[in-house]
Amino acid sequence: MLEAKMGQPIRRKEDQRFLTGKGQYVDDLKRPNQTYAYILRSQVAHARITGIDISAAEQMPGVVAIFLGKDVEADKIGTLPCGWLVTGKTGPMVEPPHPMLVTDTIRHVGDSILMVVADTKDQAKAAAQACVVDYDMLPVVASIAAARAEGAPNVWEQAPGNLCYDWEIGDRAATDAGFAKAHKIVTIEITNNRLVPNAMEPRAAIGEYDSGTGDYTLWTTSQNPHLIRLLMAAFTLHVPEHKLRVVAPDVGGGFGSKIFHYAEEVLVTWAAQKVGRPVKWTCERFESFVTDAHGRDHVSTGRVALSKEGDFLAMDFDTHANMGAYLQLFAPSVATYLYAPLLGGVYKTPAIHVNVKAYFTHTTPVDAYRGAGRPEATYLLERLVEKAAREMNMDSIEIRRRNMITTDMFPYQTPLAFQYDTGNFQATLDMALEAIDYKGFEARRKEALGRGKLRGLGFSTYVEACGIAPSAVAGSLGARAGLFEQATVRVNPTGSVTLFTGTHSHGQGHETTFAQIVADQFGIPMENIEHSHGDTAKTAFGMGSYGSRSLPVGGSAIIKATAKVIEKGKKIAAHMLEADVADIEFKDGNFTVKGTDKAKAFGEIAFAAYVPHNYPLLTLEPGLEEQAYYDPLNFTFPGGTHIVEVEIDPETGVVKVVDVAVADDVGTIVNPMIVDGQIQGGLAQGIGQALLEEAAYDEDGQLLTASFMNYTMPRAGDFPFFKVGNHATPCTHNPLGVKGVGECGAIGVPPAVINSVLDALWSLGVRDMSMPASPQKVWRAIQEAKAKGTSADAE
Amino acid sequence: MENFVFHTPKTVADAVSTRKGTSGGKFLAGGQSLIPVLKLDLAQPTDLVSLAGLKKELSYIKVEGDELVIGALTTHADVAGSDVVKKIIPSLAVLASGIGDAQVRNRGTIGGSVAHADPAADYPAAILALDATIKTDRRTIKADDFFKAMFETALEDGELITEVRFKKPEKAGYLKFNNPASKYAIVGVYVAKYGPNVRVGVTGAATVAFRLPDFEAALAKSFDPKVLDGIKVSEEDLVNERDAKADYRAQMVTVFAKRAVEAAH
Ligand SMILES: Cc1cc2nc3c(=O)[nH]c(=O)nc-3n(C[C@H](O)[C@H](O)[C@H](O)COP(=O)(O)OP(=O)(O)OC[C@H]3O[C@@H](n4cnc5c(N)ncnc54)[C@H](O)[C@@H]3O)c2cc1C
């Protein structure tokens, strides 16, 4: 048994229940006399509804009620709010309403038309399908290109040219000056493919209303139940917090898609009161594909100005981001503040300018998805840097080293608002090169060629921003909420601890990591600690889990709360041991009087706090429970190097990932096993984006990849064992020195994959590759290069 | 999914007569194709006639003369793991081991696969290349007469496959190019050599499995992958989808045919 200390690879406590099928997910819950809801989704992308006939459906067996958009409106239910106001060059973003159920216009495949509530799910579904919706088809814009085309139809009247905002950051004049001095300018145009999050557990929600007390309860698949309650109280359901309980029990993955406030959460809770019975809704997989917020979907141009020696003099980026049909909760910030500042990367480029235009299209809304903005930035920048190396005839590593921020430069102020507190990009680069056996690569390439296969090696040196977010900074940039975190440490009378957090664990292993921190602080065994989260009736408040914030922000709140407990414990101990508080030390679970063997164990102090017979009651309250809020001082900046080695079969175009070596700096590590797991999962997702996954729409706005038959999810068997290395430079501004690890795998690796594919194909004359690098696409690129007759030698 | 009446006959005769008595019934074997079809509401059978009770009668692998005989309810996993199959037609065990995933192989049956005639299923390539005969409750059907079109076979309404008989080749090989998402075949090529004759069965590439006479003739002259280099596969009847366009599939037929010849043993 490992000691419950920081830095120990302790096995995840929660896995016992998950691996034995004892997890309790929303769909596992059954409320007494529960009804089932089915929501009719639009099959077309853009249409005006001319009539809805529910008369036949209403007569069908088991039907309890059918709700239309006008019923929702009549009850003054609000529309789904957007949580971030981006102000662009010409003013605030266009912010159209996002109704729970549409009333007149359908704006994407999957848009919600009506909800049937029935005794069984099958009855609800059958009745929904018996509702007759008449509509007139309207013209569709299903891509950024279509949205920008001359004379394109508008998704929203109030957004001419489908433009949501036109925003910029950086010093235009300084950037232009850098380009004016350039020895060479390298340009790249790339698309960041749209992704469907596909959490293993589909979304679900149960609403319940107690007519005796007037209390509402919502069970939902959420990463942040308090945020959902706040939004429902303030904007949508208009039931105040003290009458509304939101519970997010075990949640089977989110990756961002379960941050957002979805219509179903409001509809089931509202309907429960209307029908006088609990209402349950569980998403089907096809519905997930078209109603869970998607990720990515950018089209960008990047330019770098280089000196003769290969120094980056300036960079300039122009990005078009697809918002989908509505603005999801954080969408406007994902394409701006979580994206553009990261285009500085690990480099000391003195001047950078970024322009972002966001567009509406008739597609499912896009929002934060593992990495949220930072993968898009890393992909653009690291592809550009690689291309610059090729065009400058420089080594890929050399150009990076030459331009990298060095350790003596921290804290480093970037030209794009961020101040990196610490890091060591050279160290992680060296580690990853060693792990992949960089020196042996040419021999491996030759060996593969002997077998008719093409090997490539690709790099990505990245930095990202986590620990979202300093509230004042976020507020000044348009955030409409605070982004602190809260924790409560309740020491029970016999010395065990119940920890309540506002962060929510849905795969991250908080129940272990957080218990480990508390165990380490108090010197008590792990099994004496229980972690409670996900229930607004239990936890005071919190903003939830996303943006790799749970440990840097939530963990900091835990540390603050445990420190308060220890401080109070010292006062109790001083009284019991008849010593001065200043002389009390706390170590390894014991309060001792400095320089003596007089001691009280943690459990004895807890007992005294609740059985205060010998207690300083005049100066100290009984009980031992402390709460802390933590608002971070800055973002945290994890970073590192990801290297991918691929082998391509030129006859089929199949890209096989043969080796992946990464070295990340995520700050101090509490549990290395969990950190490795997070990085490996992120890598699988990142390589998935690069090679397999694509949410592809046709011109009519139909999602062509709306099932697992043609949307390729990464599988364990697709990958080699990842070599995961760490090099920690502790964060300088939070108490644990942690930076966050949830997203860096997915952020760093996609450009390494594509750079590797291009490296493999370079000698054949292939010069560009988009994600996902599917076999057919790679094969076609090879055929086209052959037809053109270009080759490295010919140039 | 619509409601249906569920029947559990115990013998072949019983199953066939039960099925005959229904207006729009279907046999249910491993359910690996039929259940997804029902869940997506692509079919609404009035009755499901479960073949589970026929397992004793129809699950077997045996050798009769120069034929490998497999009962209709034998699962893909049984074929993949069978020492008899590995000895007599090892490439058929390879084929079965590459179907779907472990769960699919543990439930899916050869009879169900052949009857379903999915254009991207693996067995149809084997049926054609290994000159199989399909035995039913009422007759035997030759390989070349069996597959008619996408999801369409020579089976009459209510006709039950009881066994599949494969001719033992001198050597044979099967190679499949997986669709990365579904793992079904984008292209699967089965090559089998019978003395002076060679049979080539292709699945995945078109809406129905087919043979390639040009390849067969060339390989009959010389069983060497190189002889296929100059022969162009027509794109005309091939599936042309976003995942894999016809020109790509045509090229992959050649690549995988060559590799199947190389792998043949
Ligand atoms: C995730 C997944 C992946 C798959 N991947 C592959 C793959 O890579 N390659 C591949 O080839 N297949 C694949 N399959 C399909 C699988 O092989 C099925 O098992 C097979 O196609 C059907 O066999 P079954 O026993 O499950 O038949 P069922 O699904 O029970 O029946 C299929 C059809 O055949 C009829 N039928 C069944 N038995 C008989 C019989 N004895 N006589 C007459 N009619 C009968 C039924 O009425 C029904 O119409 C996959 C399936 C899934 C779910």
Whether pLDDT at B145 is above 60:
yes
Digit-coded pLDDT (tens) for A282-303: 999 999 999 999 999 999 999 9
Residues B49 and B125 in one domain: no
pLDDT at A601 over 60: yes
Q: In chain B, which residue's Cα lies nearest the Cα of A122?
A: B1
For A631-753, strand residue ranges (E) read: 639-649, 654-665, 723-726
Tell me whether the CATH fold assigned to A395-468+635-794 matches the one assigned to A484-630. yes
Q: Please give the distance, rounded to the nearest whole angstrom, from the Cα atom of residue B107 to the centre of ligand 1.
A: 9
Q: What is the mean pLDDT of residues A392-417?
A: 97
Query: What pLDDT score was predicted for residue A791?
Result: 53
B153 and B200 housed in the same domain: yes
Domain limits of chain A?
31-84+96-138+203-282, 395-468+635-794, 484-630
Asked whether A367 and A334 are in contact (CB, 8 A), the reply is yes
**Range with the poorest average pLDDT among A289-293, A496-500, B36-40:** B36-40
B75 ligand 1 Cβ < 6 A: no
* Predicted pLDDT of residue A795: 43
Q: Give B248→chain A minimum CA distance, Å.
A: 7
Which pLDDT score, from 0 to 100, does residue A794 have? Answer: 43
In a 3-state reduction of DSSP, which class is residue A669? coil
What are the C-alpha distances in Å from A755 to residues A328, A424, A646? 32, 23, 10
CA A791 to chain centre: 41
The count of structural domains within chain B is 2
- Suggest the residue from A122, A285, A289, A652 to mutate for an interface test with chain B (most B CBs closer than 10 A): A652
**Nearest-CA distance from B177 to chain A in Å?**
9
| Third-level CATH fold of A31-84+96-138+203-282 | Aldehyde Oxidoreductase; domain 3 (3.90.1170)
Domain covering A395-468+635-794 in this structure, CATH number: 3.30.365.10
Q: Are residues B45 and B72 in the same domain?
A: no
Residue A792 has pLDDT above 80, yes or no: no
Residues B240, B109, single domain; the answer is yes
- A720: buried, middle or exposed (CB in 10 Å: 19+, 13-18, 0-12)? exposed
Predicted confidence band of residue B230 (pLDDT cuts 50, 70, 90): confident
Question: Smallest Cβ distance to A779: which of B1, B181, B248?
Answer: B248
In a shared domain, residues B195 and B87: yes
* CATH number, domain containing residue B259: 3.30.465.10
What band does A329 get if pLDDT is binned at 50, 70 and 90? very high
Q: How far is the CA of B139 from the centre of ligand 1 (A)?
A: 22
Assess whether pLDDT exceeds 80 at residue B38.
Answer: yes
- Chain B residues in contact with A780 by the CB 8 A cut-off are 248
The residue-averaged pLDDT of A621-632 equals 98
Counting residues of chain A whose pLDDT is more than 90, the rounded percentage is 98
| CA B115 to ligand 1 centroid distance, Å | 8
Assess whether B194 and B82 both reside in one domain: yes
- Cα(A356) to ligand 1 centroid in Å equals 50
Query: Are residues B69 and B165 in contact, defined by beta-carbon separation less than 8 angstroms?
Result: yes
For residue A1, pLDDT beyond 70: no
Query: How confident is the model over A332-343, as pLDDT tens digits?
Result: 999 999 999 999
Residues of B in contact with A775 (CB under 8 A): 180
Residues B28, B158: one domain?
no
Range of the domain at B230: 59-264
B242 and chain A: CB distance < 8 Å anywhere? yes
Residues of B in contact with A451 (CB under 8 A): none
Nearest in space to A749 (alpha carbons), one of A366, A460, A436: A460
**Mutation probe of ligand 1 site: the residue of B34, B179, B183 with most atoms within 8 A of C-beta:** B34
pLDDT at residue A751, as a whole number: 98
Q: Whose CA is nearest to atom 20 of ligand 1?
A: B113
> Which residue CA neighbors atom 4 of ligand 1 most closely?
B100
Q: Flag whether residue B244 sits within 8 Å of chain A, measured between CB atoms.
A: yes
* Average pLDDT of span A327-353: 97
For chain A, list residues whose CB is within 8 angstroms of any CB belonging to chain B. Answer: 122, 651-652, 692, 696, 704, 708-713, 774-776, 779-780
Token match 């069908």: residue? A60
Same domain, B30 and B68: no
Q: How far is B37 from chain A (nearest CA, A)?
A: 13
**Sequence letter at residue B227:** V
> How confident is the model over B68-89, as pLDDT tens digits?
999 999 999 999 999 999 999 9
Same domain, B14 and B84: no
- Give this prediction's pTM: 0.97
Over residues A649-673, the pLDDT tens digits come to 999 999 999 999 999 999 999 999 9
Give the residue, B2 or B73, on which the prediction is more confident.
Answer: B73
Per residue in B208-221, pLDDT (tens digit) is 999 999 999 999 99
Map chain B to HEC letters: CCCCEEECCCCHHHHHHHHHCCCCEEEECCCCCHHHHHHCCCCCCCEEEECHHHHHHHCCEEEECCEEEEECCCEHHHHHHCHHHHHHCHHHHHHHHCCCCHHHHHHCEHHHHHHHCCCCCCHHHHHHHCCCEEEECCCEEEHHHHEEECCEECCCCCCCEEEEEEECCCEEEEEEEECCCCCCEEEEEEEEEECCEEEEEEECCECCCEECHHHHHHHHHCCCHHHHCCCCCCCCCECCCCCCCHHHHHHHHHHHHHHHHHHCC
- CA A450 – CA A132 distance, rounded (Å): 64
What does CATH list as the number for A484-630? 3.30.365.10
Q: Residue B177: closest CA among chain A residues belongs to which residue?
A: A652
The confidence score (pLDDT) of residue A790 equals: 57
Same domain, B47 and B75: no
CATH, residue B15: 3.30.43.10
Buried b (16+ CB within 10 A) or exposed e, A495-517: bbbbbbbbbbbbbbbbbbbbbbb
Compute the nearest-CA separation of B25 from chain A (Å).
21
Mean pLDDT of all residues belonging to chain A: 97
Same domain, B141 and B123: yes
Measured in Å, residue A654 CA sits from the centre of ligand 1 at: 28
- Establish whether this prediction's ipTM goes over 0.90: yes
The per-residue pLDDT for A3 is 82
B187 and B82 co-located in one domain? yes
